[in-house]
Amino acid sequence: MSEQSPNDQFLAVERTIGEIQHADGARLAELRVDLLGRKAGRLTQILRSLSSLPSEERRVVGLRANDLKREIESALASRESEVASRKASKQVADLTMPGRSAWRGAIHPVTAVVDEICEIFRDLGFTRVSGPEAETQEYNFTKLNISLDHPAADMQDTMFLSPGIVMRTHTSPVQARTMEQYEPPIRIVVPGLVYRRDAFDASHAPVFEQIEGLVVDEGVSFVDFKAAIDFFVKRFFSKTTAVRFRPSFFPFTEPSAEVDVKWGDGWLEIMGAGMVHPAVLENCGIDSERYTGYAFGMGPHRITMLRHGIPDIRLLFQNDMRFLGQFVE
């Protein structure tokens, strides 16, 4: 130890000062002896060794040692009084006091549902694509085998922007855009907002999320369609959730189906689906004799309401901090 230079000794002592602030009563007593003890206190030793130093060095080291001694004494005194006062009032830290938190943000529950659905289909080889929200009538209706002359067009009340341009009423136009651009095998999910001329009420909104799915390949049949939807329902809801397929009508699928899941005592409709209508394939330049496929569409807003027991769709658009805060992970 005597081999240490005065500077090293100072640094070692300075490091010990930090410890004083957190020491308990017993450790404080030890530290007092260790640093300032009459016989072997480290600072005492430094002061004692001053006489052996050359005169100008003695002055510099002496000043520093005395500064340090004052600092140590004040730190010891302040900590000792702290420990003593705590002891006096028998105060132990109350660990039931709340911890220090930071703001945590939540993903919107509809986004969470969209992501979860897309991830489940990713396991079946689906990729995730998007498309424009303002569409031509051609893509929104005509290519999907919907004639504006037919009452089927009334199934969706449409917002028009200008002649021939509409806000898409479903994400299905992305089916057509994808089929025109890519060759089968096509397996896509398309989440996005869709628009209907519906006033807000507890179960309707003029804008809401939809997820479209499309598969086109050789040898894709109604059996494959059922298997994929079944896989999805079991993963999204539960392994024991019963699924029911009912006939229905959509201009762009045939056979068409509504898919219900068992919910309590009844059945709840969760998606419209079916085998892609050959006219839609042909409209998009795909040989409908060689290729078949299936498509489905579902409403994440509705599924979100179902999953979380949300009674009014407007809560999903209000952006109330108290509501969104419930979905912090």
Q: List binders of other proteins among 266-325 (CB under 8 A).
A: 275, 277-278, 292, 316-322, 324-325
CB nearer to other proteins: pick between 10 and 121: 121
Q: How many CB atoms neighbour CB 282 within 10 A?
A: 14
State in angstroms the smallest separation of the CB of 208 from other proteins: 9
Q: Which of residues 102-161 bind other proteins (CB under 8 A)?
A: 102-108, 110-111, 115, 124-130, 132-136, 149-152, 154-155, 159-161
Residues facing 295 on adjacent strands: 214, 274
Token pair 């959730």 in the structure block, residue: 241
Q: How far is CA 254 from CA 105, 194, 273, 281, in A?
A: 44, 23, 9, 12
- In the complex, what is the shortest distance from the CB of residue 80 to other proteins, in angstroms, rounded to a whole number? 24
- Touching other proteins, residues 173-212 (CB under 8 A): 178, 181-188, 193, 195, 197-199, 205-207
State the minimum distance, in angstroms, from the CB of residue 300 to other proteins.
Answer: 11
Instruction: Kindly write down the DSSP assignment for every residue of 240-307, as one continuous string.
Output: T--EEEEEEEETTEEEEEEEEEEETTEEEEEEEEEEEPHHHHHHTT--TTT-EEEEEEE-HHHHHHHH
Size of the site for other proteins (CB under 8 A): 95
* Least Cβ distance, residue 26 to other proteins (angstroms): 27
Q: Which of residues 220-259 bind other proteins (CB under 8 A)?
A: 221-224, 226-228, 230-231, 244-249, 251, 254-258
Residue tagged 């108290």 (tokens): 322
Determine, following the binding rule CB under 8 A, whether residue 44 of this chain makes contact with other proteins: no
Six token digits for residue 191: 């989440």
